[in-house]
Amino acid sequence: MSRPITATINTAALKKNLSIVRNIAPRSHIWAVIKANAYGHGIERVWKSLSNTDGFALLDIHEALLLREQGWQKPILLLEGFFHSDDLNILHQYHLTTIVHSHWQIQALKKAYLPSPLDIYLKINCGMNRLGFQPSEIHKIWHQLKELRSVGKLTLMTHFAEAECTQEVIEYMKKFSQTSKNLNGNISVANSAAILWHPQTHFDWVRPGIILYGASPSKHWKDIEDSGLVPVMTLNSKIIAIQNLVSGSSVGYSHYYRASHMQYIGIVACGYADGYPHHAPTGTPVMVEGIVTQTIGAISMDMIAVDLTRCPQARIGSSVELWGENIKINDVASISGTIGYELMCALSSRVPVKIK
C-alpha cells in the first residue's frame, strides 16, 4: 500500500462553481483564471470541467501552449503580459491575448511585424501599484496603440488591491470611469471578490479565480457559505499510529504540546512537505471519521498529531480530512496566518491526485 495521503479534485464542483459565476454575472463573459497550475489543482485536470468558460487567463506561455495542445481554441489571456519582444511571434501563432502594462511593451508592439494583429488588454494602475499605466497616461497610450498594425481589439482593465473593501472599489471605479470616458472598448475589472460583492464592477469580462475552486476570496468561509460554491480540492489521509499520552508528556518536535491529562491521540500521514502549513497551531480543525477535532503540537515534515478525545472509535486506518468539503481551507489557512490561495497553490507534487 502506498502512503495514504490523497488530494481529490471534484470536477462536478468546478462545473457548479462556474455556473454560479454565470448566474451572478449573467451579462459578462468569463475569464476562468487558471494561473499557478490552476491554483494547485492542475491545469490538465481541471480545464475540461471549466470549458463552459469564454476564456482562460494565466501567466505562463508554457501553460497557454499546454492548453492549445490539449485542444482549447477559444481565448487565452496572459495576465502578466509578455516578458520579451521575441514572445510576440508565439502570441500571434497561438492566438494569445496579452496584457500590456509597460512602455517597453508598446515599443515592442510598434517594432513587431505580425501577419495579423493581437488583442490587447491595456492595464490601468488605479492604486495597486504593481502593473499598469497611470490613469493620466491612458488616453495617449490608447490612441498610440490604436494606430499600430500589430494591435487588434483593445480592452481596458484594472485589478483591485482590496476588492472586499467597498470604499476602495468606489474609489477605483471613480478613477476607472474617468479614465475610460470616450474610449470605446470592452472593460474587465472584477476578480472573485468583486464578482461576489460588487455587481457594478462586472462589465464585459469578469476574471474569477479562487471562487471557481470553491474558497472565499476573503479570509473567512462564512463570507461565502450561502453562495452555493463548493470546495473543489479535498486533502485526505489516514491515521497511521495511535498514542496514549500520559499527563505531562508531549508529542512532536520541540514539545510544543503537553497533555494535561491522559489523552488518546492519532498520528496522521500528512506534513508540511505535503503542503500542510507548518504554522498551523494546536487547535487547527481537522476531521477524523466524520468528527471535527483538532491538531496538537508542531506540524512535522511528514506527520501531524490529532486529538482523538472526541473520536474514541478512531483506529489505525481511520480516515482524516485535512481540508475539503467539511474542513474549509479558509479556516485552516486563517488560523495558520495565511490564505486559502497559498494552501491550494502549495499542494506538494508528492501528493497523489485523484479525479472525482
Which residues form the catalytic set? 35, 253
Tell me which residue of 226, 233, 209, 210 sits closest to 11, measured CA to CA: 233
Is residue 130 annotated as involved in ligand binding?
Answer: yes
User: Which residues within the stretch 11-70 sit at the binding site for ligand PLP (CB under 6 A)?
Assistant: 33, 35
Give least dist CB 195 to ligand PLP, A.
7
Strands 55-58 and 29-33: what pairing?
parallel
Return the C-alpha cell found at 145: 496603440
Q: How far apart are CA 318 and CA 268, in angstroms?
A: 9
The residue range among 64-72, 206-214, 235-243, 329-337 that interacts with ligand PLP, by the rule CB under 6 A, is 206-214
Does 191 sit near ligand PLP (CB under 6 A)? yes
The residue range among 61-69, 147-155, 177-185, 204-212 that interacts with ligand PLP, by the rule CB under 6 A, is 204-212
Residue closest to ligand PLP (Cβ): 209
Nearest 5°: CA angle at 127, between 126 and 132? 60
Does 210 sit near ligand PLP (CB under 6 A)? yes
Does 81 sit near ligand PLP (CB under 6 A)? no
Give least dist CB 45 to ligand PLP, A.
18
Which of residues 216 and 318 has its CB atom nearest to ligand PLP in the complex?
Answer: 216
Number of residues that bind ligand PLP (CB under 6 A): 11
Nearest 5°: CA angle at 219, between 298 and 189? 140
Is residue 149 annotated as involved in ligand binding?
Answer: no
Give least dist CB 299 to ligand PLP, A.
26
Which of residues 33 and 270 has its CB atom nearest to ligand PLP in the complex?
Answer: 33
Strands 263-268 and 233-245: what pairing?
antiparallel
Which of residues 17 and 192 has its CB atom nearest to ligand PLP in the complex?
Answer: 192
Which of residues 130 and 143 has its CB atom nearest to ligand PLP in the complex?
Answer: 130
Annotate 218-247 with DSSP letters as a single string. SS-GGGGTTS-----EEEEEEEEEEEEEPT
- Under DSSP, is residue 88 helix (H, G, I), strand (E, B) or coil? helix
Give least dist CB 90 to ligand PLP, A.
21
Half-sphere exposure of 269 (CA within 13 A, CB side): 19
Nearest 5°: CA angle at 139, between 133 and 145? 80
The residue range among 87-95, 107-115, 208-216, 232-240 that interacts with ligand PLP, by the rule CB under 6 A, is 208-216
Give least dist CB 159 to ligand PLP, A.
4
Q: Which residues of 148-175 are buried (b: 16+ CB within 10 A; e: fewer)?
A: bebbeebbbbbbbeebbeeebbeebbeb
Give the CA distances from residue 347 to residues 183, 194, 228, 233, 276, in Å, rounded to whole numbers and listed in that order.
42, 26, 24, 10, 8
User: Which phi and psi (to 5°) does residue 120 adopt?
Assistant: -125, 140
Does 192 sit near ligand PLP (CB under 6 A)? yes
Angle between helices 103-111 and 135-147 (to 10 degrees): 10
Return the C-alpha cell found at 282: 494546536
The residue range among 168-176, 202-210, 218-226, 257-265 that interacts with ligand PLP, by the rule CB under 6 A, is 202-210
Residue of 14, 50, 61, 79 that binds ligand PLP (CB under 6 A): 79
- Under DSSP, is residue 297 helix (H, G, I), strand (E, B) or coil? coil
Does 236 sit near ligand PLP (CB under 6 A)? no
Binding-site residues from annotation for substrate: 130, 301
Binding site for ligand PLP (CB under 6 A): 33, 35, 79, 159, 191-192, 207-210, 217
